[in-house]
Chains A and B, each alone.
Chain A
Amino acid sequence: MTLYEVFLGWMVVFFTLAIFSFLYKDNPIYKFAEHVYLGAAVGYGVVIVYAQVLEPDLVMPIVDFLRHLWGGPTAVYGEQYEVSPGWRLVALALSIMIWARLTKRFNWWSRWALAMIVGAYAALRLVGDAQAYLVAKINATLLPLWPMPGNPLLDADGGIRWVSVEGPSLLTNWLIVLGVAAVLIHFFFSVEHKGPMKGASRFGIMILMITFGSSFGYTVLARVSLLIGRVVDLQERATGDYFYATYIIGAAMITYFVGVKLYERAAGKA
């Protein structure tokens, strides 16, 4: 274990406990950790985007193109880059136009660039979303509701698959079809929900609640998993290899909070 690794270990423990300290209450240690985290994340993102996107896709092609114009050694622009320099200059101009938002006089320029982005994304998503979400899911809901020769509700021996956890069955197909219909009825407000519509709507609510319940359970699963990750890191660094970083930093923070509490009490009495 090198001194640098031990130092990193202490940083891990400090920032983990500093962020967790918010669970007790908002405090300067938490604020410090929050600002360092955000600054580091943004800084890292900027460097990565420059090194892997802007430099190879914008800066270097334009530099090479200018060299090519002036008869420089990289007179192979057409072979090296498929996209013409003109389009790259358009992209550069649009990027600069977004920054114009920071000026009072030219801030309307940014709307052109944003309009371009919104338009492109709308077009891109229209086809993809329609295919992946709308058509595919409607298709997946069109299920056989009665066992007939050739459909999956009959098993190899010709028997009816009443219930199956794996694959289609009579019960699951009915549940899916009725559940989808009931949820749609629940959100159909053009007709008053009374009589059969009321019953269908209530069934729709039940389906929705079961869905939300499973989502909530999975969300708890996810959050606890993240907590486990942090706790494992803390336990790893509570050993002698890291000079008991977790115990020492944890004790220091508890001492700090107890001290602040005592000071506040004393100041309140005074």
Chain B
Amino acid sequence: MNLESLDRRWVFLGVAVLTFGGLLLPFRLPQVPGETSISYYNALQNLPPGSLVMISADYSPSTRPELEPMHRLTIYHALKNGHRVINIALWDVGVNQTALAMGWALAQLASEGVHPRKDVDYLNLGFKAGGEVVMSQMGSSIPTTFRKDQEGRYIWENAEIPVVAGLHDMKDVDLLVTISAGSPGINQWLAQVQKRYNVATVAGVTAVMAPELYTFYHSRQLLGFLGGLVGAADYEKLLGMTERGDAVGLSILVPDFANRAMVAQSLIHYALVLVIIIVNVDFILRRRARGGRS
């Protein structure tokens, strides 16, 4: 069989079978958290209780499997440690993602007997269009940028909403977290806010974006980051979610989703490496047979 002329739909079919099969396997692979994931975890873990954590949902449902686990776990982690959480979104559909992540985190915390209060422990400021302009404006004044919250309430200087007390601009934010799938996202936050206002920043990003973040991590512009499904699996491990994943049937909502999905992920990676080796060997053998350069 000539591999050069193999119908690529056979490869698609093979990947589909491996994915379905991999997700049915009843075990998890050992997950050893990487350095950047541990740094992300530590950035939240080492904050003093009551710190103000701003979480920006800069992604859409298209990247949900990678980013939603890290988004909801970040909210869970911050609220569990007694921090104040301010949610914002610079992508219009980020508002829905925040609602999903928030709902999951609150349900998880409730199952552990922790009951954060809206307006006291957390608040959703909603979406604001403008990307970098919004970020820059938040550097000088957050009340001017977000006059109302997601529910349309005037929140500033409101005694019934103490979660924003003392929040004037980005310098008042103790940790900025961006869950980012593109632009506006982590690159813009670094340029417009992190460096200009010296705000401690961490990011959860898609795997496509992860390689370029290593440079920001080594220059200490980023305190840590989670890259793709592996990053989410690391974070689950660090938060002890792998001990709770005994739910029957895999769903994106189970606490150890990323760890269980890593079985299929790894299986496909091994298969792709194998395919690359096979087609290259086939290519070299055919070129030799034709008398070409080997």
Report A's interface with B, CB cutoff 8 A. Answer: 23-24, 44-45, 48-49, 52-53, 56-57, 81-83, 120-121, 124-125, 127-129, 131-133, 136-137, 139-140, 165-166, 211, 214-215, 218-222, 224-229, 231-233, 235-236, 239
Q: Which A residues lie within 8 Å of B218 (CB)?
A: 140
Total A-B contacts with CB atoms under 8 angstroms apart:
150
From B35, which residue of chain A is reached at the shortest CB distance?
A166
The residues of A that contact B152 with a CB separation of less than 8 Å are 56
Return chain A residues, CB-CB under 8 Å to B16.
227, 231
Contact B132 A225 (CB under 8 A): no
Option from A124, A221, A232 in Cβ contact (under 8 Å) with B136? A124
Enumerate B250-294 residues with CB–CB distance to A below 8 Å: 250-252, 257, 261, 264-265, 268-269, 272
Pick the 4 closest A-B CB pairs, nearest first: A229-B65, A128-B191, A140-B219, A222-B207
B176-195 near A? 1/0 per residue, CB < 8 Å: 00000000000010111011
Q: In the complex, which of the residues A23, A53, A211, A215 contacts B12, with contact meaning CB atoms closer than 8 Å?
A: A23
Q: Is the CB of A221 within 8 A of B133?
A: no
A44-B93, A226-B66 known; A125 vs B132 contact (CB < 8 Å): yes
Tell me the complex Cα distance, A60–B32, Å: 53
B220 CB contacts on chain A under 8 angstroms: 140
Interface of chain A, main secondary structure: helix
**Do A232 and B252 touch across chains, with their CB atoms under 8 A apart?**
yes
A81 to B156 alpha-carbon distance, docked (Å): 12
A41 to chain B, nearest CB (A): 8
When distances are taken between beta carbons in the complex, the residues of chain B under 8 Å from A132 are: 190-191, 194-195, 221
Residues A235 and B211 in contact, CB atoms below 8 Å apart: no
Q: Is the CB of A128 within 8 A of B127?
A: no
The answer to the question of B92 belonging to the interface, with a C-beta cut-off of 8 Å to chain A, is yes
Interface residues of B in 119-150 (CB under 8 A from A): 126-130, 132-133, 136, 144, 147-148
In the assembled complex, B27 has its CB within 8 A of some CB on chain A: no
Q: Are B215 and A221 in contact (CB under 8 A)?
A: no
Residues of A within 8 A of B257 (CB): 232
Interface contact A225-B66, CB-CB below 8 Å: yes
Docked pose: A49 CA to B134 CA in angstroms: 14
Assess the B132–A128 pair: CB atoms within 8 A: yes
- For B221, list chain A residues within 8 Å (CB): 132, 136
Number of interface residues of B (CB under 8 A): 62
Which of B211, B221, B227 has the most C-beta atoms of chain A within 10 angstroms of its own C-beta? B211
Q: Knowing A225-B65, A226-B66 are in contact, say whether A136-B129 is a contact too (CB < 8 A).
A: no
- CB–CB B148/A222 < 8 A: no
What is the distance, in angstroms, from A125's C-beta to the closest C-beta of chain B? 7
A128 touches B195 (CB 8 A): yes
- Whether B144 and A52, one on each chain, are in contact in the complex, defined by CB atoms closer than 8 angstroms, is no
User: Please, which residues of chain A bring their CB within 8 A of the CB of B51?
Assistant: none
Cβ of B43 within 8 Å of any chain A Cβ, yes or no, is no
Query: A225 contacts B229, CB within 8 Å?
Result: yes
Closest CB-CB distance, B63 to chain A, in whole Å?
A: 7
Find B191's partner among A53, A125, A227 (CB 8 Å cutoff).
A125
Tell me, rounded to whole Å, the shortest Cβ–Cβ distance linking A129 to chain B.
5
Check: B62 CB closer than 8 A to any chain A CB: yes
Q: A124-B136, A218-B208 are in contact. Are A131 and B93 (CB under 8 A)?
A: no
A24 to B16 CA separation, bound complex (whole angstroms)? 13
How distant is the Cα of A52 from the Cα of B90 in the complex, in angstroms? 11
Q: Given known contacts A44-B93, A128-B195, A231-B16, what 9 new A-B pairs fall within 8 Å (CB)?
A: A53-B127, A57-B147, A125-B132, A132-B190, A132-B194, A140-B219, A228-B264, A231-B20, A232-B65
Contacts of A128 in B (CB 8 A): 132, 136, 188, 191-192, 195-196
B64 close to A (CB within 8 Å): yes
